[in-house]
Amino acid sequence: MADEMKQDAPVLEEAIGQAQKANEVVEHNIVETKSLPDSFLELTVEIPAQAWETHLNTLFGEWRKQARIEGFRQGKAPMALVRKRFEADANNDLLGRLLGTIVSKYEKDNNLVIYGQPAIMDATIKNGEPVKAVVRLEVKPTVEAKDYKGLEVEAPRVAMGEEEVTKRIEMMRRYSASYKPVDEEYADAMGLKVDIKEIDAKGRTVRDDKDFVLDRPAGTLPARLVDMLKGKKSGEIIEASINTGASTPQPHKFTLEIKEVTKMLEPELNDDFAKDRGYDNLEDMKKKISDMMQTNAVETQAEESFEALMVKVIASHDFQVPPSMRASLAREMWRQDMFMMRQNGYAARLNGVKTQEEYQNRLLNDALDQAKAYLLIESISEKEKLEASDADIDAALAKRAEQEGRKPLAVRAALEKRREWDQFVKQVTFEKVRDFLLANNTIKLVDPKPAEEPAKEGNKAE
């Protein structure tokens, strides 16, 4: 019966939601609670035989109305026959329903937060005897934050000066550039128009693009293929077998015909360039970009300092994190990494990664640290009574409205429509905790270490 219950009724999430809405009461006893590693909790639940039979009769009454049994019209089959035919299914269904209600009450009565999906690990159902079941829950751990004030940590200094403003403007010029066909050999910083075909190790065509425009080939094609393109001209064809994939590399055959070699033509940096982007003139553009970058630098510096501080705070605490919380954060981080790779051909977490396993370990470790940071920040917030007041929320709303060029009421309406208002309020509380910690600890700014080389395209851990 235990194996059957694990297979047929492992998830109580839907039943819990229904129980919370219905506010149903189920007679039961919690005969044992057992704490397990990884923030799991097991409940041994007992439902009296009479209570079980009452609920079972009600369920069969519902099922009898819909039952189609040969020889009887729908809803007219004898109850004894319905019970005999559907007893196993009814037991599984009812157990899920009742345990959902019981878990919901236990969560509320004990002020718990349940993560993931509660599961039935074992169950014993015998006629005339109390029903016993073991339910495993993944619960939010109790975290008591300590030693988070009076610390000294080092954080990388965020550079902000004339050089950074110039780099930003040059980047704007590059992204506004046009590409002109030239009768030259391909080299770095040039573009291409190509026909490209890719065939995997099983002979399947996974890509067959005609007149494909590559403004930045190095961010799109495998690194080895880009190296082979250098020195080639329009009309030439390249064929290569290149291993792709990180954990189990497989040879893919690439055939690439160069249709055009193009050269980037950046617009002149003058008043017209600035006006095309909504500024009064070139000087106005430089000033406003400088002001914006200064504001961003202050915020980035706070984030870098806070991250360095939380590394030290996390190191002084030892508690377990619910696996589903960690997994959820890891999935979100993976999506962010893949987005960055598609957009820029670069993601910081992929630096130095050579295998899928190595990337997976780094991802899970980062997710673990982030989960611990969330739980510690929440504990500090409660301990220091740092909650987002109406004034804090209004100020944050006004700031965001100014950034978006909209009225605060319009911003709030948009957040509520997207169901993001609660998250916005949580972010305000987070920033209040961050500011508190930065004000109560010493941050020494140091020059950052040289950046590692970006991960090569051929080493993407996708």
pLDDT in single tens digits along all 462 residues of the chain: 433 344 343 445 555 555 444 567 889 999 999 999 989 999 999 999 999 999 988 887 887 777 777 777 777 777 777 777 778 888 888 899 899 999 999 999 999 999 888 899 999 999 899 999 999 999 999 999 999 999 999 999 988 788 888 989 998 998 888 889 999 999 988 899 999 999 998 999 999 999 999 888 887 888 889 999 999 999 999 999 988 765 567 899 999 999 999 998 889 999 999 999 999 999 999 999 999 898 889 889 999 999 999 999 999 999 999 999 999 999 999 999 888 887 766 788 888 888 888 999 999 999 999 999 999 999 999 999 999 999 999 999 999 998 888 999 999 999 999 999 999 999 999 999 999 999 999 999 998 776 555 444 444 444
- For 2-139, the fitting CATH number among 1.10.3720.10, 3.40.50.300, 3.40.640.10, 3.30.70.1050 is 3.30.70.1050
Tokens 């002979």 found at: 203
Number of H helices, E strands in the chain: 13, 11
Q: Residue 422 has which token pair?
A: 């609660």
Neighbours of 136 (CB within 10 A): 19
What pLDDT does residue 410 have? 94
At 195, which helix (H) or strand (E)?
strand 190-199
| Strands 442-446 vs 152-156: parallel, antiparallel or unpaired | parallel
CA distances from 444 to 55, 78, 152, 154, 242 (A): 65, 80, 7, 5, 46
Distance CA 256, CA 275 (A): 40
Query: Which pLDDT score, from 0 to 100, does residue 330 have?
Result: 94
For 34, list phi and psi in degrees, rounded to 5: -135, 125
User: Is 401 in contact with 415 (CB distance < 8 Å)?
Assistant: no
Q: Which helix (H) or strand (E) holds 312?
A: helix 282-315
Domain ranges of the chain: 2-139, 152-159+280-459, 178-265
The DSSP code for 234 is T
Supply the pLDDT for residue 11. Answer: 44
Q: pTM for this structure?
A: 0.67
Burial class of 405 by CB neighbour count within 10 A (0 to 12, 13 to 18, 19+): exposed
Q: Does domain 152-159+280-459 have CATH number 1.10.3120.10?
A: yes
DSSP helix/strand/coil, 164: helix
For residues 244 and 458, the answer to whether their CB atoms sit within 8 Å is yes
Res 360: pLDDT: 92
- Tell me what pLDDT residue 454 has: 46
What is residue 459's predicted lDDT score, i.e. its pLDDT?
42
- The structural architecture, per CATH, of the domain 178-265 is Roll (3.10)
In order, the DSSP letters of 247-302 are SS-EEEEEEEEEEEEEEEEPPP-SHHHHHTTT-SSHHHHHHHHHHHHHHHHHHHHH
| Neighbouring residues of 379: CB distance < 8 A, sequence distance ≥ 6 | 143, 144, 145
The predicted pLDDT at position 447 comes to 87
Give the pLDDT score at 1.
42
Judge whether 2 and 123 are in contact, CB under 8 Å: yes
Rounded to whole angstroms, the Cα distance separating 118 from 112 reads 13
